[in-house]
Amino acid sequence: MDKLVKRAGTPGTSRSAASLLRKMSAKGAALPMKTVTLPRAPRVGLVSLGCPKNLVDSERIMTKLRSNGYDMSADYAGADVVLVNTCGFLDSAKAESLEAIGEAIAENGRVVVTGCMGKEAQLIRERFPQVLAITGAHQYEAVIAAVHEAAPLSASPYADLVPESGLKLTPRHYSYVKISEGCNHRCAFCIIPQLRGDLVSRRPDAILREAEKLIAAGTRELLVISQDTSAYGLDLKHAAWPWKGGEVRAHMTDLVREMGTLGAWVRLHYVYPYPHVDNVIPLMAEGLLLPYLDIPFQHASPKVLRAMKRPANEAKVLKRLKEWRELVPDIAIRSSFVVGFPGETEADFDYLLRWLEEAQLDRVGAFKFEPVEGAAANALPDQVFEEVKQERYERIMALSARISADKLAAKVGRTIDVIIDAVDPETGGATGRSKADAPEIDGEVHLRDAGALKQGDIAAVIIEESDEHDLFGVPA
Ligand code: SF4
């Protein structure tokens, strides 16, 4: 394929070959032609059982598979994998589903099961251990991932409208990876669970495959996001999926450990401080994860946290921060806080400021409480006046700016790794971020002379100056 690309005169053509092609063309000579054989699309056979709702599910799955580049097969013999969309409404429907799975295995052998019988995975596995994957009803992403796993598509730059890594709104060198949707908590100020429902985690192998594609397409930094990263996999009962000859569990620690081996920076966001978060700190010490945790504490006063109905609201956070810093001295902790929550007294707010003084968080974002339509907190008594919210907001921001300035000043004279976000050709300088800075929300590192650095490079930088939020330096 490479040879053909070069012959066609695309970037990479040698000067002599390109000029030969131009001369031949000018003289009316026929250009040497070679046809490109596109890879054959894998074919999926579909057996759809049950009610019209199941039929609509089958149509959605087929539509998605076709848009991904799969062909459909009308018979077992021509299919690379057979998908059986089952019905489990009545005993007779279950029997029919099992019979259909048995037939597909006998006729083809490579079978993925989805639909209502997904709830009876154990029963199916006992009868047909050779089934490749079993997913439940409406688990579209899971069934599509199972088909991709069973019959992988070959990427073709000639036929694919979308690059293998998907379309991105971020620059090529960093990418957000969403590991779950929804949330099982019911924080009083938040309506996300009403909008997006309870936690639904993605399969760990699908997440890792996406991460690999992003890295192959140029990503150097993966930003793990969700509504509640620490809760990842709870809904999947932390089951394990095959991955690279072994297994990976649907659990935050296992997933991010595996992600850390893929070769990009891995940064964790929205991590609630459940006890098992302690297990990711050693992964930072090993260099598998960036020494960075974004933990949305939202407040420190136990009374306010209870009123907010916050998860992982426990008193030992300061002690744990200390232990984490002992293990990973450079760990950067980012958090956000809500000020002026209903019932927050001056004493509660003072408690928060004293807590922050002790916690010495690296990055702090603050928000004034706003009654979002539909949030339970709107009905709480003792709403705080706007002027008081504003005054508290200014105080918390001033304190966090002072802490940040001190922490950044301590980095002057050190050499740190910086990922380059943008090079300014006019000034010859560049802007990047250290391991302690997530894009958009944290500080930046400004390089007065970028040398030969390009966007996405990771370079050692000597820090010369600092201010409240940013660092300034030159490549080492
Ligand atoms: S604030 Fe976060 S943890 Fe709380 S309900 Fe909303 S999404 Fe869930």
36-66 confidence digits (pLDDT tens): 676 788 999 999 998 878 888 899 899 999 9
Q: Is residue 29 part of a domain?
A: no
Last residue of a domain, one of 380, 409, 438: 409
Structure confidence at residue 93 (pLDDT) = 85
Select from 194, 228, 297, 309 the residue to mutate for testing ligand 1; criterion: most ligand atoms less than 8 Å from CB.
228
Pair 200, 70 in one domain: no
Structure confidence at residue 19 (pLDDT) = 41
Pairing of strands 71-73, 81-86: unpaired
Closest ligand 1 atom, CA of 189? 1
Q: Where are the alpha helices (DSSP H) in 128-225?
A: 140-150, 192-196, 204-216
The structural domain count of the chain equals: 3
Using the mean position of ligand 1's atoms as its centre, give its distance from the Cα of residue 443 in Å.
Answer: 25
- Class of residue 430 by CB neighbours under 10 A (exposed 0-12, middle 13-18, buried 19+): buried
User: Domain limits at 332?
Assistant: 174-409
Pair 350, 436 in one domain: no
Pair 145, 105 in one domain: yes
Considering the chain, what is the average pLDDT of its residues? 88
Q: Do 363 and 384 meet the contact criterion of CB atoms below 8 Å apart? A: no
Select from 181, 186, 190 the residue to mutate for testing ligand 1; criterion: most ligand atoms less than 8 Å from CB.
190
Q: Do 199 and 183 meet the contact criterion of CB atoms below 8 Å apart? A: yes
Using the mean position of ligand 1's atoms as its centre, give its distance from the Cα of residue 440 in Å.
Answer: 21
- Name which of 217, 230, 236 is nearest 168 in CA terms: 217
Last residue of a domain, one of 392, 409, 426: 409
Does the Cβ of 308 fall within 6 Å of ligand 1? no
Does the Cβ of 227 fall within 6 Å of ligand 1? yes
Using the mean position of ligand 1's atoms as its centre, give its distance from the Cα of residue 349 in Å.
Answer: 21
Q: Is residue 38 part of a domain?
A: no
Does the Cβ of 388 fall within 6 Å of ligand 1? no
Which CATH number does the domain housing residue 324 bear?
A: 3.80.30.20
88-135 confidence digits (pLDDT tens): 878 888 899 999 999 999 999 999 999 988 888 889 989 999 999 898
The span from the CA of 375 to the CA of 377, in Å, is: 5
Q: Do 86 and 118 meet the contact criterion of CB atoms below 8 Å apart? A: yes
Q: Is residue 33 part of a domain?
A: no
Using the mean position of ligand 1's atoms as its centre, give its distance from the Cα of residue 185 in Å.
Answer: 6
Pair 308, 401 in one domain: yes
454-473 confidence digits (pLDDT tens): 999 999 999 999 999 999 99
Q: Which residues contact 83 (CB under 8 A, 6 or more apart)?
A: 44, 45, 46, 47, 61, 111, 112, 113, 114, 143, 147
Name residue, tokens 């154990």. 122
Q: Do 337 and 367 meet the contact criterion of CB atoms below 8 Å apart? A: yes
The span from the CA of 232 to the CA of 249, in Å, is: 10
Each residue's pLDDT tens digit in the chain (476 positions)? 333 233 333 333 333 334 433 443 444 445 556 666 767 889 999 999 988 788 888 998 999 999 888 999 999 999 999 999 998 878 888 899 999 999 999 999 999 999 988 888 889 989 999 999 898 877 777 889 889 888 988 766 666 666 666 677 889 999 999 999 889 999 999 988 888 889 989 989 989 999 999 999 999 999 999 999 999 999 999 999 989 999 999 999 999 999 999 999 999 999 998 889 999 999 999 999 999 999 999 999 999 999 999 876 666 899 999 999 999 999 999 999 999 999 999 999 999 999 999 999 999 999 999 988 889 999 899 999 999 999 999 999 999 999 999 999 999 999 999 999 999 999 999 999 999 999 999 999 999 999 899 999 999 999 999 999 999 999 99
Q: Do 298 and 338 meet the contact criterion of CB atoms below 8 Å apart? A: yes
DSSP 261: T
* Model pTM score: 0.75
Does the Cβ of 115 fall within 6 Å of ligand 1? no
Which CATH number does the domain housing residue 117 bear?
A: 3.40.50.12160
Using the mean position of ligand 1's atoms as its centre, give its distance from the Cα of residue 181 in Å.
Answer: 11
The span from the CA of 300 to the CA of 418, in Å, is: 32
